[in-house]
Structure 1
Amino acid sequence: MALDIYPAIDLKEGKAVRLFKGDMQSAKVYGEALDFAKSFEDMGAKFLHIVDLDGAIAGNPQNLKYIETIIASTTLQVQVGGGIRDEERIKLYTQMGARVILGSIATQNWDFVKVMAESYPVAVGIDSRNGKVATQGWVEESQLDSQSLVEKFVGSAVQAIICTDINRDGALSGINIDWTESIAQSSGIYTIASGGFAGVDELHILNESPYISGVIIGKAFYEDKINLKEVLQFFRD
């Protein structure tokens, strides 16, 4: 089975940006989000990962019109996270055609998330810093460890788990593969690796993993560390 490639767009005030280890002050602007989305589609991407960074901090969506335009203007299968913490917003995004990523709310009310997953396409974002789950746009750190959190969703209707090692995110230092595999094994749910993707060699390692099903590629693309078009062609079903 081919590894699913998820090009990433982190949205800040409507622009595509990348952060370093989740620090909003480190945001580097790369350009218009819609232009990148269309470019990914032209390269052969099937999926797109979008995070509303402003929304994650605010606790409610802040870049809604940009996300809606991207979904309406491409055929990409979009998953969206950032400030989605109630059914009203879940419904809003899913009606647009997106899968929602629930992060902060998943640490606070996993029963709610499991109920939502019964009715809507839901992914759970497990964002970890030094083994502890971070919330509220990674600004706050909970006392919950990632392994304990993922076990809450075993046997649920959650479609995907997205594992991000915050200490590696945007650092081009390599995916935390061992940790991601351990989360995937514990959950038995389709698992997407995220945070620190560095280059092509890593793709082959991920592709050989019996547990990891997808990978999010962000900064490596924006900083020209990878030829995304070639990668998408190689891993196409």
Structure 2
Amino acid sequence: MQLYPAIDLLAGKSVRLTRGDYERVSLSADPLDQVARLNAAGLTHLHLVDLDGARAQQPINQAAIKAIRQQTSAFIELGGGIRNLVTMGQYLTAGINRLVLGSVAITDPDLVAQAVTQFGPQRIVVGIDVRSGKVATNGWLTTTQQSVMDVMQTVQTTGAQTVIVTDIGRDGTMQGPNVDLLRALQHTVPQLDIAASGGIRTLDDLTALRAAGIHAAIIGKAWQTGAIDLNKLKELEDDDADQTDYSLP
């Protein structure tokens, strides 16, 4: 299983939100210290989110992102405030390996299709944030009337191959992932690779996701609080790699 420890950036600091609430910030930390911990554990992938950018609908934390890029050789995927091809090109040129398009995938799927054509499906993925079955946008501040399934079907038409599905109600809660939802989505739209996000708290949660057909997961609060040991994450990732290559591009 490909694992992505997550760092969410707010005013240059690494924070965790509970259920996407910007007023419920916890675990403020130096992101470079966290990156050093990930490097030491040998983890090779990192999920970054520009929370300020998601809310402002434009990049905000570029300085922190640049510093993180310089400190690690890890594969970095980045989301938050990415709304046009120029911004995408700038981030990719700066060494970000893959971009997560969230709100723009809801409001302008044609732009996602253009991005996939221009940069390739290995460098563009779609992030779908779900609140009570409906898709949220703009840093989770706005809830649309579109269902996650409707959006998944639209994503198929853009040429994107990977979707990150975040259950907002579980994000930052350490209550476990929404395995039933993710299993149903993967079964219904098998052409897309789904990465799980939200609520992951234990290695058993990751095992349950793998059994549900999910081969990638984003872990936030669990690794930052020590609920999941980074060395154990590395062991799980390596064990899976020895059996079958489920790595996303």
User: Shorter-chain-normalised TM-score: which range?
Assistant: over 0.9
Spell out, residue by residue over 1:178-220, the C-alpha distance to the aligned partner (whole angstroms, 9 max, x if none): 212222331522211001112111111122233x121111111
**Structure 2: where are the runs of 5+ without partners?**
242-249
Residues 106-185 of structure 1 mapped to structure 2, 5 A cutoff: 106-120=105-119, 121-154=123-156, 156-185=158-187
Q: Which residue of 2 aligns with 1:40?
A: 38
Secondary structure class of the residue paired with 2:28: strand
The answer to whether the aligner puts 1:8 opposite 2:6 as a matched pair is yes
Spell out, residue by residue over 1:132-161, the C-alpha distance to the aligned partner (whole angstroms, 9 max, x if none): 100010000111111000111226432421
CA contact (8 A) 1:60 1:84 kept: yes
- TM-score after normalising by structure 1: 0.94
Q: Structure 1's 42 and 155: CA in aligned 2 closer, same or farther, altered over 3 A?
A: farther
Q: Structure 1's 159 and 75: CA in aligned 2 closer, same or farther, altered over 3 A?
A: farther
Alpha-carbon deviation of 1:123?
A: 0.9
Alpha-carbon deviation of 1:223?
A: 1.9
CA distance in 1: counterparts of 2:148 and 2:210, whole angstroms:
23
Spell out, residue by residue over 1:65-122, the C-alpha distance to the aligned partner (whole angstroms, 9 max, x if none): 1111211221110000011011111111111222111110000111210121122211
CA contact (8 A) 2:110 2:158 kept: no
Secondary structure class of the residue paired with 2:73: coil
Between stretches 87-96 and 29-38, larger displacement belongs to 29-38
Residues 152-231 of structure 1 mapped to structure 2, 5 A cutoff: 152-154=154-156, 156-185=158-187, 186=189, 188-210=191-213, 212-231=214-233
**Structure 1: where are the runs of 5+ without partners?**
none
- TM-score after normalising by structure 2: 0.90
Q: Which residue of 2 aligns with 1:24?
A: 22
Q: 1:65 aligns with which of 59, 63, 66?
A: 63
Alpha-carbon deviation of 1:164?
A: 0.3
Spell out, residue by residue over 1:28-54, the C-alpha distance to the aligned partner (whole angstroms, 9 max, x if none): 143111121121122121110000011
Q: Give the share of equivalent positions with the same residue, in percent.
A: 35
Task: Output the aligned Cα RMSD.
Answer: 1.3
Aligned residues: 234
AA matched with 2:19 = K
Q: Structure 1's 157 and 46: CA in aligned 2 closer, same or farther, altered over 3 A?
A: farther
CA contact (8 A) 2:109 2:158 kept: no
CA distance in 2: counterparts of 1:226 and 1:29, whole angstroms:
15
CA contact (8 A) 2:112 2:158 kept: no
CA distance in 1: counterparts of 2:212 and 2:157, whole angstroms:
22
Secondary structure class of the residue paired with 2:232: helix
Secondary structure class of the residue paired with 1:153: helix
CA distance in 1: counterparts of 2:134 and 2:236, whole angstroms:
35
CA contact (8 A) 1:44 1:233 kept: no
AA matched with 2:46 = L
CA distance in 2: counterparts of 1:160 and 1:206, whole angstroms:
16
Q: Structure 1's 97 and 60: CA in aligned 2 closer, same or farther, altered over 3 A?
A: same
The answer to whether the aligner puts 1:104 opposite 2:103 as a matched pair is yes
CA distance in 2: counterparts of 1:205 and 1:119, whole angstroms:
36
AA matched with 2:182 = T
Alpha-carbon deviation of 1:231?
A: 1.9
